[in-house]
Structure 1
């Protein structure tokens, strides 16, 4: 009987820990989305031959685009893309399996960042803001919008 109670206590503690972690992820996302200049954005980078979409939230900064992974507890961005090094090559509708991997209604924005191919998936309104942000670079920086 004692072993059964101990197993139930361990299972209960694991369930509570999982709920706490999920609650922290949700609260972090709400805090991020409450900031000015944030939008839902999925990222796909070519690293070690793998190209998978990762869900997240992007935030405009003066000289960079910070991207935060959705399923993370870190207060720091997972990636930062320098504005002057980021160039849009094209944008298109999601194709094939991409439609299930990105947000509904998203467009895929194909970019180059210092020779690396990066795909961003965002809503059409977010793309309009993204293109405007790139075009409105401070003096001395080139315009990198297709």
Structure 2
């Protein structure tokens, strides 16, 4: 009967190890069903990164459009709510650029960096594929007439 307790213990540990993976897969599926997603890394600002560490501060994620908002989710998270929402109104693109040498290793391949300020004046850097950059800029420019989008 001693072995029965060991088997139960192993099954409990196995269930606890598998449960986060199942939740992660369910979250990813739920996010994909609620709108098309694209790979999008995020860096809020370089001020919060470790001083002297080039390329630091990037978080891998996915983004999707939801009306007048861009919702950004961390890739490795169990949260069903977006970590960041960027509204179309008041968002200004400062520049688009290629990642520098230090950033290349932290980002997905062939991504471009879009530097912008949101409605609150916070500087945000997004890294996404070229087609996604085109879609993002088009989405910003397609704002309703009463909004002002400086290019």
For the criterion TM > 0.5, the same-fold answer is yes
The match for 2:32 is 33
Gaps of 5+ in 2: 50-55
Q: Structure 2: how far apart are the matches of 1:96 and 1:83?
A: 30
Q: Secondary structure at the match of 1:84?
A: coil
Is 1:55–2:54 an aligned residue pair? no
Which residue of the other structure, out of 108, 123, 140, is the alignment partner of 2:129? 123
Q: Supply the distance in 2 between the matched residues of 1:14 and 1:47 (Cα, whole angstroms).
A: 40
Secondary structure of the residue aligned to 2:99 is: coil
SS in 1 for 2:17: helix
- Structure 1 15/143 Cα, relative in aligned 2: closer, same or farther at 3 Å? same
CA distance in 1, matches of 2:104, 2:8: 42
Question: TM-score when scaled to structure 2?
Answer: 0.80
Tell me, yes or no, if the aligned pair for 1:25 and 1:70 is still in contact at 8 Å. Answer: no
Cα deviation for residue 18 of structure 1 reads: 2.6
Please give the alpha-carbon distance, in whole angstroms, between the structure 2 residues aligned to 1:11 and 1:105.
44
TM-score, reference length from structure 1 = 0.82
Instruction: Give the equivalent residue in structure 2 for 1:19.
Output: 18
Deviations 1:84-133 (A, max 9, x none): 12111111111122111111111111111222211001111111110100
Q: Per-residue deviation at 1:7?
A: 8.1
- CA RMSD, aligned part only? 2.6
User: Unpaired runs of 5+ in structure 1?
Assistant: none
The number of equivalent residue pairs is: 144
Deviation of 1:6 after TM superposition, in Å, equals: 7.2
Among residues 126, 131, 144, which one is paired with 1:138 in the alignment?
144
After the TM superposition, which of the residue ranges 22-31 and 59-68 deviates more from structure 2?
22-31
